[in-house]
Amino acid sequence: MEMWLEGFGIAFQGQNLLYLLLGTTIGLVVGAMPGLGPLFGVGLMLPFTFGMPPATAIIFLAAVHAATAYGDSIASILINTPGGVGSVASCWDGYPLAQQGKAGLALGVSTTSSFIGGLIGWVSLVVISPLLILVALKMGPPEYFMVALLALSLLAMAASGKVVGGLALGGIGLLLAFVGSDPITASSRFTFGTDYLEDGLPLVPVAVGLFALSQAIILAEQGGTIAQIRSIGSIREGFGATLRRPMTILRGSVVGVLLGVMPALGLSSANIVAYLVEKRASKNPESFGKGNIAGLVAPEVAKNTCILGDLIPTFTLGIPGSSVTALFLAAMVMHGLQPGVDFFKASGALPYAIFAGILLAQFAFFLMGLFFARYFAMTVLVPNAFIVPLIVFLSFVGSFAMRNRVEDILVTILFGVLGYALSKRGYPAICLLLGFVLGDLTEANFQRSVLIGRGSYGIFVDSTISVVLLSLTILALIGPYLVRLGRSLLTKAE
């Protein structure tokens, strides 16, 4: 307890608070840019921290980390353009709200949900991380494959009505994920002999094209302004609207923590899965996509819980769960800190200061978010004629900045046109993205399992976890038919 006080004391020092605010501001800006999320924000800022004292460096990065994840949603809600791969699902109900003149309410919901997600994530990081690590250790390739299957079974849900089209798009997404080196044999597939495709199609440009660029074309066509009535609604209402949905918060945070703590999964899937889980749990799923607040709360909570859940293996095991946390680990090692079981024992008050800083970072983005939300929300009142060129410009910057490759912009354009065509026809582009995001997880873990199982498929039903996951998948797929069958039998009996 004393250590905690000392830790908070360090975190509250003038310089650290200053960097906390600086990190939050940078995070908000980077986050709001289409496609650029925590990975880019933390990566960009990492070199600047090498000269700082350890606590300041980590607090600064934690602030960037939390605020980029939060800032991602601003663009999702206001202009239907995912600010990063972690906030794709926030568009689906956030943007309809903005269109209905409730941009302020939506931002209030997003800010509150992200904050609550951050708090739940922090508590899991501090209190139950040893327990969660046990889950992570139990997950091997067969279990990951089953998780991927379960997530793919949500495709039908994501298709919102167009089931056949949605499944077909999911299949195409999987196929696109196969471009590049085979994850097991390293042989090149569908690369047409180019170096560019060796690493596969890059996620950020694909997502930015499908959602941001296509959206720019749609907005250009529509003209006028995003909000169909000249209003942004009340930000404060969003606070209450979120808190009135404790079950949604619970479901979102469970998805977020679990996907965060598993090293092979993370941000890009957590928000989508949480949204679809929420839709499935809802009594009126047809209201999703039309401005249902629960449809915004769930992915927002999941996203911010996930990014902290992601830190759990880094701190507890000294093993980074994702590329972002690998950067955190690098920053800590650079400053002579060695995360792992002995992290709290070895370095005095410093680890406590870092955890205090991570908590403060949640408060920082919450307060700044609430303060600026009103001004951000004005975007929806700006004529599309100004918004569209800005989206196009930022989409290209976002796609290019990740890897400094011009080809990535071409990918964005290609998928922008595809996304536009799909949305014109009413086909759910999200199914394509879901298939694409889950492609490597599905394929690589299938191949690994078969290698480990020496060619036998028995390995997939060897452990309890995978059997449970498989049953859930089967249930999810045939469940609706069973219900219909049961109902028709009942009516016949009557």
Partner 1 sequence: MKISLPKSIVILAALAVPLSATIAQEKFPSEPIRLIITHAAGGTTDMAARVIQPYFQKAVGVPVVIENMVGAGGNIARGYVFRQKPDGYHLLVSQQPSMSSGEIVSGGKFKVLQLTHLYNIAGKNYNCVAVPFDSPIKTIEDMKKASQREPLTTAGTGIGSNAYIVAMLIKERVGVNVTYVPFNSGAQAALAVAGNRTQMGAGALDSYFPLHAQKKLRILAVTGPARDESHPEIPTMKELGYPQVTLDQMTGVFAPPGLPKNRVDVLIAAFHKAMEDPEFKAAAAKAKITLQPLAGEQFLKASHEMYDTIQGLKDVLKSGVRKKKK
- The single residue among 165, 171, 285, 340 that binds partner 1, judged by CB under 8 A, is 340
Looking at the Cβ atoms of 341 and 474, the one nearer to partner 1 is: 341
- Residues numbered 367 to 396 that lie near partner 1 (CB under 8 A) are none
- Amino acid (1-letter code) at residue 317: L
Backbone angles phi, psi at 248, to 5 degrees: -60, -45
To partner 1, the closest distance from the beta carbon of 406 in angstroms equals 13
Q: Which of 96, 94, 99 is nearest to 111 (CA)?
A: 94
Looking at the Cβ atoms of 39 and 377, the one nearer to partner 1 is: 39
- The single residue among 403, 424, 484, 487 that binds partner 1, judged by CB under 8 A, is 403
Work out whether 482 is an interface residue with partner 1 (CB under 8 A): no
- The single residue among 8, 323, 382, 470 that binds partner 1, judged by CB under 8 A, is 323
What are the structure tokens assigned to 432, written together?
């394509």
- The single residue among 264, 302, 364, 422 that binds partner 1, judged by CB under 8 A, is 264
To partner 1, the closest distance from the beta carbon of 186 in angstroms equals 4
What secondary structure letter does DSSP report for 212? I
Work out whether 456 is an interface residue with partner 1 (CB under 8 A): no
- The single residue among 101, 117, 263, 398 that binds partner 1, judged by CB under 8 A, is 263
What whole-number distance in Å separates Cα of residue 62 and Cα of residue 85? 19
Looking at the Cβ atoms of 190 and 393, the one nearer to partner 1 is: 190
What whole-number distance in Å separates Cα of residue 259 and Cα of residue 244? 25
Report whether 208 contacts 35 (CB < 8 A). Answer: yes
Using a 10 angstrom Cβ sphere, with 0-12 exposed, 13-18 middle and 19 or more buried, the burial of residue 420 is buried
Work out whether 326 is an interface residue with partner 1 (CB under 8 A): yes
- The single residue among 331, 356, 368, 391 that binds partner 1, judged by CB under 8 A, is 331
Work out whether 53 is an interface residue with partner 1 (CB under 8 A): no
Q: Which of 368, 440, 425, 428 is nearest to 203 (CA)?
A: 440
Q: Which of 395, 451, 386, 453 is nearest to 420 (CA)?
A: 395
What are the structure tokens assigned to 359, written together?
């908590």
- The single residue among 18, 127, 137, 461 that binds partner 1, judged by CB under 8 A, is 137
- Residues numbered 77 to 136 that lie near partner 1 (CB under 8 A) are 136
Work out whether 452 is an interface residue with partner 1 (CB under 8 A): yes
Backbone angles phi, psi at 338, to 5 degrees: -120, 100
Work out whether 194 is an interface residue with partner 1 (CB under 8 A): no
What whole-number distance in Å separates Cα of residue 494 and Cα of residue 481? 20
- Residues numbered 284 to 313 that lie near partner 1 (CB under 8 A) are 313
Work out whether 327 is an interface residue with partner 1 (CB under 8 A): yes
What are the structure tokens assigned to 95, written together?
């943007």
- The single residue among 1, 283, 336, 493 that binds partner 1, judged by CB under 8 A, is 336
Work out whether 348 is an interface residue with partner 1 (CB under 8 A): no
Work out whether 198 is an interface residue with partner 1 (CB under 8 A): yes
Quickly list H helices, 12-49: 14-32, 38-45
Report whether 36 contacts 85 (CB < 8 A). Answer: no
Tell me the chain's radius of gyration from C-alpha atoms: 22
Quickly list H helices, 350-463: 350-377, 384-403, 407-424, 429-452
Helix, strand, or coil (residue 224): coil
- The single residue among 141, 289, 419, 439 that binds partner 1, judged by CB under 8 A, is 141
Q: Which residues bind partner 1 (CB under 8 A)?
A: 43, 46-47, 50, 136-141, 181, 183-187, 189, 195, 198-199, 263-264, 313, 317-321, 323, 326-327, 329-331, 333-336, 339-342, 403-405, 440, 444, 448, 451-452, 454
